[in-house]
Amino acid sequence: MNLTFDYIVVGAGSAGCVLANRLSADPHTRVCLIEAGKKDSSPFIKIPLGLMALFDHPKLNWRFLSTPQKNAFDRNFYIPRGKTLGGSSSINGMVYTRGEPDDYDEWERRGNPGWSYQEVLPYFKKSEHNEDFPNSPFHGQGGEINVRYMDHYNPLTAVMLEAAEKLQYPVNEDFCAETHEGFGRRQVMQKNGLRVSSASAFLDPIRHRQNLTILTQATARRVLFENKRATGLEVDLPEGRESLTAQKEVILSAGAVGSPHLLLLSGIGPGEHLKHMDIPVTHELNGVGLHLQDHFNSQLQFNSPTTLPYGISVRAIPGLAIHGLRYLFQRNGLIASNVVESGGFVRTSPTEAKPDIQLILVPALQSAVLRTNRRKGRRQKLWQYGHGFSIMSCLLRPESTGSVRLENNDPHNAPLVDFNAFSDPGDQDIKKLVAGLRIGRRLVETQPFQGIAGEEKRPGLRSQTDEELELYVRKSASTNFHPVGTCRMGPDAEDAVVDPSLRVHGIEGLRVADASIMPQVIGGNTHSPTVMIAEKAADLILGDTQHAN
């Protein structure tokens, strides 16, 4: 095997697959893509409803657990991350949203020129092929990611949209246009009833390229340096340990957990922490692993006397059989669903400049996720017997920030991930989640839900006061699995990890390009923004190369 390349990309996830595609487009450029997981050949990845099996899959999911969250009854939050080609895009809910345009303008206001909404919109459009908006200035045609409305939505979606209109909330036909405020159906990344991951979109068409090497089951141990220039990567392969050489750049795209983990293992980060882990300090950079953000959520859950929601019951057997036949012959129905089919973006107060809560309808009887101590394993249970639905209150812009730190210096051991949930002064994160739960209750109290919504199972009508609901949130909240910010982009090396060109401050030949560079979490799902980051990173890298030549 050739061990010398122009570029080494670490992590074949939402961003890494894009970079491998774009950088290897020049047949004279040698690219190596590193992935710790196996190939993405599982049928659970291809079939949309297979995400239920992937949520706690022992081989295709890292299944991280956070440290005990002191403001959430010392619970360990579950952190599913994809461990296969495509990364988390191979196990996620396939939702295509981008957040508010102002989210990206805020990135620029924080000292990152080139990252305003108008400047990043072309990169969103570049990779998109939207079946439903062929002439929209907000959407692309001909890109690798197929985006569409599903052919089938659970009937509860229409009920929720009618309920939202009763409460004077707007119906939004396109969450990626001028604003995502309002309620509507969610578009998904699917084609012909199959998941579109970054691997299927960006790798499958170009795997034949002779200048592209894809290494799976490859654990990155550390970045290699000469002085303060990245020169390669030490990696554990099934056949043994190897040192790979990068003649131009090493690019970390291992995600908001993996990228800071590898930087710390490589001696880049807070000096005292590295010394405590017996890791020689290559370059002291205090921001590595800090500023972790995610979308916290808590949910209302209702029984239903009807079989309108998806469910497992004797009454549902004929319908489930029909859904099986629909998928077999038409590639639609329940098996082509991502389950989280619709929702809305709302303001908890008229003083909010933009929506601060997302409400997500789950038209099935979702179980409480069971978590155990991170050292003693875990058990996950997603669905219950019977029929019902949930409305999730999701906090879009939390004030609480956490960190990623090493537990030890073994690259095969998971790092310590601490969301530091609900640590913000004034408890605004908790208060906004409670406000979201109240809006969800108001929706269910409207006429369209009458006869469909039964007993409120969680938190239950005994929880009425702010104090009772805040207690419920602390006991029940989790995240939406959108970690960002741990290699934050910014002009100041005292606070940030990468500059606006995504180069690691103080190091040559090393960049980070994934969700970890977000200066602030965006108000939506993070997959498509991560693809955008990779598209822009590819242009930045190739532009720098041309300038150097």
The answer to which of 55-59, 322-326, 382-386 has the lowest mean pLDDT is 382-386
Name every residue whose Cβ is closer than 8 Å to that of residue 349 and which is 6 or more positions away in sequence: 435
Tell me: the pLDDT tens digits for 466-493? 999 999 999 999 999 999 999 999 999 9
* Domain end marker among 432, 460, 476: 476
What tokens were used for 480?
């939406």
- pLDDT on residue 370: 43
- Report how far apart, in Å, the C-alpha atoms of 161 and of each of 166, 300, 397, 446 are: 9, 17, 24, 11
What's the full length of the chain, in residues? Answer: 549
In one letter, which amino acid is 97?
T
| Overall average pLDDT of the 212-219 stretch | 98
Peptide bond into 459 cis (omega under 30): yes
Q: How many domains is the chain built from? A: 2
Cβ count near 430 (within 10 Å): 25
Looking at residue 469, which CATH number applies to its domain?
3.30.410.40
Give 230's strand partners: 225
Asked which of 68-82, 143-157, 205-219, 324-338 is least confident by mean pLDDT, the reply is 324-338
> CA angle, corner 426, sides to 420 and 427, nearest 5?
50
Contact, 489 vs 498, CB < 8 A? yes
Is 536 contained in some domain? yes
Token pair for residue 445?
């109290």
Q: Do 501 and 456 share a structural domain?
A: no
CB 19 within 8 A of CB 513: yes
State the average pLDDT over residues 513-542.
98
Kindly state the DSSP code that residue 24 receives in the 8-state scheme: T
Instruction: Provide the pLDDT for residue 320.
Output: 84
DSSP 458-472: ES-TT--SHHHHHHH
Tell me the one-letter amino acid at 224.
Answer: L
Instruction: Answer yes or no: is 324 within a domain.
Output: yes
Indicate the pLDDT class of residue 371, thresholds 50, 70 and 90: very low
| Residue position matching structure tokens 């487009």 | 25
Tens of pLDDT, residue by residue over 1-38, are 779 999 999 999 999 999 999 999 999 999 999 999 99
- Same domain flag for 311 and 428: yes
Residues of the chain with pLDDT > 70: what percent? 96
Residues 245-259 pLDDT 10s = 999 999 999 999 999
440, 511: one domain:
no
At 368 the pLDDT is 54
pLDDT (tens digit per residue) in 417-455 = 999 999 999 999 999 999 999 999 999 999 999 999 999
Name the band, by pLDDT with cuts 50, 70 and 90, for residue 170: very high
Q: Are 85 and 198 in a shared domain?
A: yes
Is residue 514's pLDDT more than 70? yes
Q: Are the beta carbons of 151 and 192 closer than 8 angstroms? A: no
Whether residue 375 has pLDDT greater than 60:
no
Two tokens, residue 136: 């929209």
For residue 34, being part of any structural domain is answered with yes
Query: Quick one: average pLDDT of 340-344?
Result: 96
Q: Is residue 115 part of a domain?
A: yes
pLDDT tier for residue 344 given thresholds of 50, 70 and 90: very high
Question: Do 17 and 85 belong together in one domain?
Answer: yes
Q: What is the rounded distance in angstroms from the CA atom of residue 476 to the CA atom of residue 300?
A: 10
Tell me if 57 sits within 8 A of 84, measured CB to CB: no
| Domain co-membership, 12 together with 121 | yes
Q: Is residue 400 included in any domain, yes or no? A: no
Between the alpha carbon of residue 393 and those of residues 83, 187, 396, 491, the distances in Å are 28, 19, 9, 34
Look at residue 148 in the predicted model and tell me its pLDDT: 98
Domain boundary among 433, 458, 476: 476
Q: Mean of the per-residue pLDDT values for the chain?
A: 95
Report the alpha-carbon distance of residue 547 to residue 15 in Å, rounded: 24
CB 504 within 8 A of CB 512: yes
| C-alpha pair distances (Å), 509 with each of 248, 249, 396 | 6, 4, 34
pLDDT, average across residues 264-280: 98
- Are 250 and 386 in the same domain? no
Structural domain for 34, as ranges: 1-146+193-287+406-415+483-549
Q: Assess whether pLDDT exceeds 60 at residue 193.
A: yes
In the three-class reduction of DSSP (H, G, I as helix; E, B as strand; rest coil), residue 410 is classed as coil
**First CA to last CA across the chain, in angstroms?**
28
Beta-carbon contacts of residue 494 (< 8 Å; ≥ 6 apart): 286, 287
**Residue 322 shares a structural domain with residue 457:** yes
Instruction: Provide the pairing of β-strand 4-10 with 31-34.
Output: parallel
Last residue of a domain, one of 433, 448, 476: 476
Q: Cα angle at 190 between 26 and 49, to 5 degrees?
A: 130
**370 within domain boundaries:** yes
pLDDT band at 548 (very low <50, low <70, confident <90, very high): low
8 Å CB contact between 254 and 261: yes
| 456 and 540 assigned to the same domain | no
Confidence label for 319 from pLDDT (cuts 50, 70 and 90)? confident
Q: Does 53 lie in the same domain as 133?
A: yes
Lowest mean pLDDT among 30-44, 66-80, 372-386, 432-446: 372-386
* 154 shares a domain with 140: no
Beta-bridge partner residues of 310: 364
Same domain, 134 and 235: yes
Q: Which residue has the tokens 């030949």?
A: 509
Map tokens 């309620």 to a residue: 183
pLDDT of residue 129: 98
What is the domain-level CATH number for residue 46?
A: 3.50.50.60
Position 401 in a domain? no
Question: How open is the CA angle 381-385-386, to the nearest 5 degrees?
Answer: 135
The pLDDT of residue 379 is 47
Say which of 152, 482, 505, 527 is annotated catalytic. Answer: 482
pLDDT of 315: 86
pLDDT for position 312: 81
Is 505 a residue of the active site? no
